[in-house]
A and B are shown apart, each in its own frame.
Chain A
Amino acid sequence: MIGARDLSVVFGGRVRAVDGVDLEVDAGEIVALVGESGCGKTTLARTLLGLEKPTGGQVLFEGQPLDYRALKAYRRQVQLVLQDPLGALNPRHTVYDAVAEGLRIHKVPGDEQQLVADALSRAGLRPPERFFLRYPHELSGGQRQRVVIAGALVLQPRVLIADEPVSSLDASVRGEILRLLLSLREELGLTVLVVTHDLGLAWNIADRIAVMYLGRIVEVGPTAEVLSDPQHPYTQALLSVVPDIGHTEQIVLTGEPPDPARIPGGCRFHPRCPVVMEECRSATLPILTVEGVHRAACLRTNP
């Protein structure tokens, strides 16, 4: 349905935010794109949406490369849910205006009021009329996020790209929003790409998971497999620090996630890798190609 081939996005000639990514998300799938800050996942998501232009490679939609002159039409198919619902809504627009915006931009025919009400109901805000005249600051975090989702749904897209959809919400409210995403997949056949740093979220709702590090996907595969049997040392380290009782030894990596302007040679993870080998410093690892299979970009597993 949506994907990337050999995609790279370089800022200012030096910052290699996305450094060669192959990705495919099938219709009706929920894929989690996981990584720490600076790994390029948000840039990748924005490039898939057409908000950034790639410096190399292509974004594919339904098998065809993205036509940058027909972006407006593309937007009806692929929509965005942002991280911070308070920032994502114009404080001067009512809920009604926020949801109707998409309809007005694309001049969608039909009863606007009805379409807005439908979208709000779908997103779990019932009765929708009660929310029409409210302003974002009068709503709770969970309600705001539902408004943002309704705003995306009203265009009846095929794909939803959600950037940290629940990380700024209270913990007890997250479950409802995640359940909403799952139900949208069930009822509408929506394809969802979730960008997050939270492995627990991926475990909760993702069919497949792709782990990113410094602009590349380092491990990919069905969620259950990747998270129960991680192959890449980075994934292993990430999993080990998720707070849990009766855990195996924590692998706490030293230092900070490095700078995408200075990507290490060889395997890009080698300076922090707890099981680094001599070859890792010089070997170039190919871009992981994506099939349903569980793969990791590591010399130990794929020599």
Chain B
Amino acid sequence: MSLLEFRDVSVTYRGADADVPAVRGVSLSLDAGRTLGVAGESGCGKSTLASTVLRLLPESTKVTGEVLLNGEDILTMKWGKLRAVRWSEAAIVFQGALHSLNPVQSIGKQIAEPISLHKTSKNPNKRVGELLEQVGIPASRADAYPHQLSGGQRQRVMIAMALACAPSLIIADEPTTALDVMVQAQVLDLLSGLVRDLDMGMMLISHDLGILGTSCDDLAVMYAGRIVETGPAVEVFDRPEHPYTQALAGAFPRIGDPQARYRPIGLPGDPPYPGDIPTGCSFHPRCPAALTECSSVSVELRDAGPGRRAACIRVGS
């Protein structure tokens, strides 16, 4: 049984004028002890997808499909059970650590909050100290305020908060954006280490295909609310099949590759707004390899090699 499984999940926001389909029919799975990377840019629906795991979306949002955590569907869970599940079985490390921390509370207090709520430890302060050490911050700094810490340290505090109730699943949403490369490497190392040592599952969300390709086991690429490619992370990064993945990979050139000198790879136009998705294959207006059929025919994920799937008309059969 997978730790986490999305079965044909669709999320539609109720907008003022029209409904906005942020996620359209996504199916993914993640096993314990493994890392799943979800790659995509703004508007692709990756953060929305992550929010469904803890049912954090506003009441007016329409969510269909199933989100199974250890076999139980989150979407139909009773409120009491959901509250118990939140944080103790699955936790999120949110985007933008700077703004997710309460500036007027010490970090120790904030980490202790879920612990006290879920009553998972008899001695919250001791547990806070353990957590801080686990993420590489001296336990003595538990009384510090967020503004007294650096960006990298704040991110670690977010991770410590996520670990507070020893969840089996961690979702990290853009954990390294706005961090320097060196600190980024430290945080990624920390996350991989934790997954290994604590046998958790991790869903890592980012627009940086590079870090996903090198720190995750499996990789799924999202565009306009749909999954357009999946496979083992290393392979998807190294030999992308879908034209969008190719462009995304190209945006992070291989240093040392003479092909990439003076040849920046990018796509014309912009990622589509979820309320304004093109017909047919949603990628076709920007696709360098688009065929005439692409504007009217939408393709499902199809086989593109062993363990690989891509939603492109040019791939597979």
Contacts of B41 in A (CB 8 A): 170-172
Q: Is the CB of B264 within 8 A of A179?
A: yes
CB–CB A204/B260 < 8 A? yes
> Given A36-B180, A37-B180, A256-B152, are A243 and B210 also a contact pair (CB < 8 Å)?
yes
The A173-209 residues at the B interface (CB cut-off 8 A) are 173-179, 182, 197, 199-200, 203-205
Segment at the B interface, from A74-82, A98-106, A135-143? A135-143
A88 within 8 A of B: no
Q: Which residues on A sit within 8 Å (CB–CB) of B255?
A: 199-200, 203, 227, 239, 242, 244
Q: Mark B227-266, 1 if CB is under 8 A from A, else 0.
A: 0000000100110000010011011111111101111111
Taking the complex as formed, is B46 at the interface, i.e. its CB lies under 8 A from any CB of chain A? no
* CB pair B256 A227 closer than 8 Å: yes
Closest to B257 in A: A203
Determine the distance from Cα of A114 to Cα of B21 in the docked complex, in whole angstroms: 41
Q: Which residues of B contact A228 (CB under 8 A)?
A: 256
Chain A positions within 8 Å of B250 at CB level: 175
B182 at the interface (CB under 8 A from A): yes
* Given A170-B270, A172-B244, A256-B152; 17 other pairs, CB 8 A cutoff: A141-B42, A170-B41, A171-B252, A173-B267, A175-B264, A175-B266, A179-B264, A197-B181, A200-B252, A203-B253, A241-B181, A241-B182, A244-B210, A244-B214, A244-B255, A245-B238, A252-B189
CA separation between A128 and B185, bound complex, in Å? 42
In the complex, residue of chain A having the shortest beta-carbon distance to the beta carbon of B182: A253
Q: How far is the CA of A143 from the CA of B255 in the complex (A)?
A: 27
Chain B residues in the interface with A (C-beta under 8 A): 41-42, 150-153, 180-186, 189, 207-211, 213-215, 234, 237-238, 244, 247-248, 250-258, 260-268, 270-271, 286
Contact between A172 and B152 (Cβ–Cβ < 8 Å)?
no
Q: Which residues of chain B have C-beta atoms less than 8 A from A182's C-beta?
A: 262, 264
Does A91 count as interface, using CB distance less than 8 angstroms? no
Task: Tell me whether A172 and B247 are in contact in the complex, defined as CB-CB below 8 angstroms, given that A143-B270, A197-B181 are known contacts.
Answer: yes
Of B41, B215, B260, B264, chain A has the most CB atoms within 10 Å of the CB of B264
Asked whether, in the complex, the Cβ of A171 is within 8 Å of the Cβ of B251, the reply is yes
> B206's closest neighbor in chain A, by CB?
A171
A7 within 8 A of B: no
A238 within 8 Å of B (CB atoms)? yes
A224 on the B face (CB < 8 A): yes
Report Cα–Cα, A17/B245, bound state, in Å.
40
A300 vs B186: C-alpha distance in the bound complex, in angstroms? 26
Answer yes or no: A290 CB below 8 A from chain B CBs.
no
Q: Which residues of A contact B262 (CB under 8 A)?
A: 182, 204-205
Residue from A171, A177, A227, A242 with most neighbouring chain B CB atoms (10 Å): A171
A237 within 8 A of B: yes
- A284 CB within 8 Å of chain B: no
Complex interface: chain A residues within 8 A of B207 (CB):
170-171
Is A266 interfacial (CB 8 A cutoff)?
A: no
B186 to chain A, nearest CB (A): 6
Question: With a CB–CB cut-off of 8 A, which chain A residues contact B150?
Answer: 256
CB pair A252–B185 under 8 Å, yes or no, is yes
Q: Among the listed B181, B211, B251, which residue makes an inter-chain contact with A175, where contact means beta carbons less than 8 Å apart?
A: B251
Decide yes or no whether A250 CB sits under 8 A from chain B: yes
Closest residue on chain B to residue A30 by CB atoms: B262
Name the distance in Å between A281's Cβ and chain B's nearest Cβ: 22
**Are the C-beta atoms of B270 and A141 separated by less than 8 Å?**
yes
Cα distance A109–B153 when bound, in Å? 53
List residues of chain B with CB within 8 A of the CB of A247: 214
User: Of B248, B254, B266, which one neighbours A177 at CB under 8 angstroms?
Assistant: B266
- Assess whether A170 is in contact with B42, with CB atoms less than 8 Å apart: yes
* Nearest A-chain residue to B188, judged by Cβ: A243
Q: Which of B254, B261, B271 contacts A224 (CB 8 A)?
A: B261
CA distance A277 to B210 in the complex (A): 34
Which of B211, B260, B268 touches A243 (beta carbons < 8 Å)? B211
Q: Is the CB of B189 within 8 A of A140?
A: no
Closest residue of chain B to A237, judged by CB? Answer: B182
Q: What is the bound-complex CA distance between A77 and B248, given in angstroms? A: 35
CB contacts (< 8 Å) of B208 on chain A: these are 171, 243
Contact residues in B for A36 (Cβ distance below 8 Å): 180-182
CA distance A243 to B271 in the complex (A): 24
Given A171-B209, A241-B185, are A142 and B180 neighbors across the interface (CB < 8 Å)? no
Which residues on A sit within 8 Å (CB–CB) of B183?
A: 256
- For the complex, what is the distance from the CA of A143 to the CA of B269, rounded to whole Å? 9
In the A-B complex, the 5 residue pairs with the closest CB atoms: A175-B266, A178-B264, A243-B210, A241-B185, A140-B270
20 cross-chain CB contacts under 8 A: A170-B271, A171-B207, A171-B208, A171-B209, A171-B251, A172-B286, A173-B267, A175-B251, A175-B266, A178-B266, A182-B264, A200-B252, A203-B260, A223-B261, A224-B258, A238-B182, A241-B181, A243-B211, A245-B237, A252-B186
CB contacts under 8 Å to B, within A231-284, are 237-239, 241-245, 247, 250, 252-254, 256-257
A176 touches B263 (CB 8 A): no
Task: Give, as a whole number of angstroms, the nearest-CB distance from A137 to chain B.
Answer: 13
